[in-house]
Structure 1
Amino acid sequence: MPKLTDTQTIILSRAATRPDNLAMPLPEGLRGAAAKMSVTKMIERGWLEEVDADLRKGEPLWRETGDGHGTTLIATGTGLEAIGIEPVVAFAVSNLRKVKPDPADAPKPVAIRAGTKQARVIALLQRPEGAAICEIVEATGWMAHSARGMISGALKKKLGLPVSSEKVAGRGTVYKLDQTV
């Protein structure tokens, strides 16, 4: 049997008692760089595996993937064998929940509910003349910083819409949506 540290033994033992062999949450006091180092070593040795977290079940997150999803950790059959437990379901669970790579070039579907403030802002940005922040503030009732945050956060980052901006004399910064949504 491979030599395990006390921390690794605790993580794997707890995972063996949890549904789906979840290794999260990690033991109290194991945070930051120490947690990352321990988990990385365990993944390298094949004792833990990173899988998609089922947020509907309230599974704790190991890390966020950046696309609004997260991953959690499960003990593998090898990990359970390392602590002397026969892996009954570990292989089935790990194969069902493997993290599926997101193809970067696959277009994300954009679903925008009609009648929302977001839909109003998008309609303003689709006009040939675009929209200045003051026009967006007037249409939504938001503060200027909220309107700018929605453009950069929700429209550009989350929805991936091609919003461009340019300084226009007399109007300030004007934002335009180059694509029909």
Structure 2
Amino acid sequence: MPKITDTQSIILTRAASRPGNLAMPLPDGLAGAAAKMAVAKMIERGWLEEVDANLRRNEPLWRETGDGHGTTLIATNAGLEAIGIDPVVASTVSNVRKAAPAEKAAGVAADDTPGLKLASIRQGTKQALLIEMLQRPGGVSIQEIVNELGWLPHTARGVISGALKKKLGLAITSEKHSERGTVYKLDVA
């Protein structure tokens, strides 16, 4: 597999976090010939695809076709896999985001909708392992996290509170148990 550059990684990561894996707009500072060259290589490798832009949804244009239409760029499954993101997870998060405006229109309060900010978690990372641990039927205690991941207790609590609850919007619950201490759990819906 060809080596991915920092610019290509940024483009694909941002695309994975947008509805429909939309790669536009490109990062600030990437314009002109540099943008054309980067996008051309990514299309050649199958990481991006040029598709008709939906002007009704105000999708940003990559280029105009001259007949009053334009094209935009989307990340392909191969592009998402190149940066270690499971395409199924990215499309699931994208679908959740599309449903959020419909829920707000139906009267669901903004605070009730989790604020997802990342498309997915790379497999094999400590954060991904922690999420798997939290999904165990009996949950996981801080001491079990410390033993398995090698973190200090305050690091484990900080990741649960900050990265998982606040940034990813995961609904993690906690209960006090006499034998295990505080046990954290992520219910799989």
TM-score, normalisation: structure 1: 0.48
Which has the greater radius of gyration? 1
